[in-house]
Every structure is written in structure tokens, then in C-alpha cells.
Amino acid sequence: MKHNEQFKREFLALSERYLAYGLSIDSLENAIRKPKRFNKNILLYSIVFLLIAILYGYNILHILSSLFINIRGIRCIVPNNYFVWEATRQISDCSFCINVSKPLIFNNISKGDFAPYAYTSKPVIIRNAFLHWPAMKEFDFEFFKKMYHENEEAYKSVDEECQFLHFKSDFTSLRDVFSMDQKRVTNEPGQKSWYVGWGNCHPEILSKMRKYYPKPHFLPDDCEMPSKEYVFMGYDAGATMHLDYINRLMWQAQLKGSKTWHIKAAPECEKQCNSLSFIVKPGDAILLDTRVWYHETTITPGQFSLSIQSEYG
């Protein structure tokens, strides 16, 4: 009986997340009722969804995750499985987003003035924060292509531990990105648009990158530079709606192009909290608790966007 009640609670919570993916209860019911036009994809998603709900309710999912990690010894198996993480996410209390109707926006700000907002869950934009960085001028597609082509181990580090994010593009690795035709690189008419991101955790790559930018001047003194930082670049449709499963708050420097952020609270908070959209321009900083705010980005049409991202806390 105890397991049944637990299952009901978890199933109701997971149902809200199911709807957040854009699927409907009708689609689930129709899949079960075997509609005239049999949709294998909907049925498959429904079965996977229900299976995860059952496994989670009986704490089997955690056991299987630990077993995979211990047997294979690969730390990225479970973390890279976004669906598992989303299905087992803790329910939010919504305090982070209540009464938030717009981001906090500052013009270039000092460390002292920024201190009261350093650890807020509200979105923060700092205009013109990075205009003095050499990275504003030096970082582009060719810069990173050359740096990785000169270091084979750097490619391996992205494949094996740093993480590659293809989003809606058809690339499977960073090597694929830096091997594309020049016409596609510049997004010429008739070419397939692209947008990707990847983690840089190779010490030599990080060292070279950081010659072109310091730790943001407005961050608290006790903030450390982590051993991995991300690069995001491309056109048009940027990152798809998601949460970040990271340990700390994040800052992102918009170096080239303009990018619009669309953020919203978790499904269980949508009745209490607002969805927001705002634009960042070259030289701007955005600070956002991407662990609690779902977020996606779109690039201003015709522009190439490049940004770097790191954590602090």
C-alpha cells in the first residue's frame, strides 16, 4: 500500500513533466487504445515514461545507475542521460521565481556593487561587461579550429570527458564541426544552419583560452575558476529548452552576435511564475541559475553567435 501511494505521487509529478515536453495526455491514451493510425514513437515514449516512473517509485533507478557506473567505470553514462535526470529531478518549491517579471539589468558594475546579487536566483544581465577582453576580437570559428587541429588530445578530451552538445545540428563530434565546408561555416544561403557547444577541460586548451580573458571582474574574490569552461557558437536556433545539471551558478560572456534567452520555471511552478525573454549583445554578461530555470536560446537572424560559459560559487 505504501508503494502504491508513493507511486501515485511520483506519477502525478512525472505527468506534469510529460506535458512539459509538448506531449499530451490524449497522446498517451491514444497510444494505449491502439489508434487507427498506429504511432510507434508515441507508444515507445509512453512505455519508457511509465517504466521510469515505476523504477523510480521503487528506487530501482538509483540502484541501476550505481550498477552501471561501478561496472563500466565511465562517469558520464548516467549524467549524459538527460531524460533520466529530468525524470528523477526533485520537485521545486518555486520560491526562486515568484514575483520575478524581468531580469536585473546593470551597466558595467563593480565587484562591490554586484556583491548583493552575486548569488541570487534571479536572472542578471550586465551590459558592456567584457568589452575590454581580447577575446572579443580574437575568438572566432577559425581560432578554435586551429587550436584543436594542433592538439589531437584535445579532441579526445571532448569526446571522452569534456562533453559535446550538438543541439539541433547533425554533428556527432567537435571534429565534425571543424571539418565542415566553408560555405556552411558562414551559413551561406542554401546551407544547413548549425549551433553547437562543447566543454573545454584539456589543460593546454584552457590555458590558451584564458590568455584572452580573465575572471570576470565583478565576481566575488572567493570565486574559483573551474577546470572546465564551455564554448557555444553557431546560427539561428540555439540551445533547446533544458536544465543544466551542474554544481554551481553560471556566468556566460556573449562575445559575438546577439542572442535571445527564453527562460521559464519548472512545470510545477508555471501557475505561480512568469516566463521571460531577454536579449544579450556582444560584450554583455548573463548570470543565471540554470539549475532551476529551464532555458533555451535563439540567435538574431543573420548573425554568428559565440559565447563562453563558466561556473562560480
List per-residue pLDDT tens for the chain, 313 residues long. Answer: 555 555 555 555 555 555 555 555 555 455 445 444 445 555 666 666 666 555 555 444 443 444 343 333 333 333 455 556 666 677 888 999 999 999 999 998 999 999 999 999 999 999 999 999 999 999 999 999 999 999 999 999 999 988 999 999 999 999 999 999 999 999 999 999 999 999 999 999 999 999 999 999 999 998 887 889 999 999 998 888 988 888 889 999 999 999 999 999 999 999 999 999 999 999 999 999 999 999 999 999 999 999 999 999 8
The CATH class that applies to domain 104-312 reads mainly beta
Bridge partner list, 14: none
What does the alpha-carbon distance between residue 194 and residue 131 come to, in Å, rounded to a whole number? 26
Cα 56 to Cα 17, 68, 73: the distances in Å are 14, 16, 23
Using only the alpha carbons of the chain, give its radius of gyration. Answer: 21
Cα–Cα distance between 297 and 12 in angstroms, integer?
29
Q: Is 263 exposed, middle or buried (0-12, 13-18, 19+ CB in 10 A)?
A: buried
Amino acid at 152: E
Amino acid identity of residue 13, one-letter, is A
What does the domain layout of the chain look like in residue ranges? 2-87, 104-312
Q: What are phi and psi of 123, to 5 degrees?
A: -65, 140
Amino acid identity of 55? Answer: L
| Distance of alpha carbon 231 from alpha carbon 129, whole angstroms | 18
Model pLDDT, residue 276 = 97
Are 273 and 98 contacting, i.e. CB atoms less than 8 angstroms apart?
A: yes
Judge contact between 224 and 237, C-beta under 8 A: no
| Spatial contact of 264 and 293, defined as CB atoms under 8 Å apart | yes
Tell me the pTM: 0.73
10 CB contacts (<8 Å, ≥6 apart)?
53, 56, 57
d(CA 242, CA 88): 14
Beta bridge partners of 297: 261
Q: CB of 108 within 8 A of CB of 128?
A: yes
- What is the C-alpha to C-alpha distance for residues 203 and 151, in angstroms, rounded to an integer? 11
Residues 6+ apart with CB under 8 A from 96: 121, 122, 265, 289, 292, 293
- Tell me what pLDDT residue 67 has: 38
Give the CA count within 13 Å in the CB-facing half-sphere of 306: 15
212 and 133 in contact (C-beta within 8 Å)?
A: yes
Element (H, E) at 279: strand 276-280
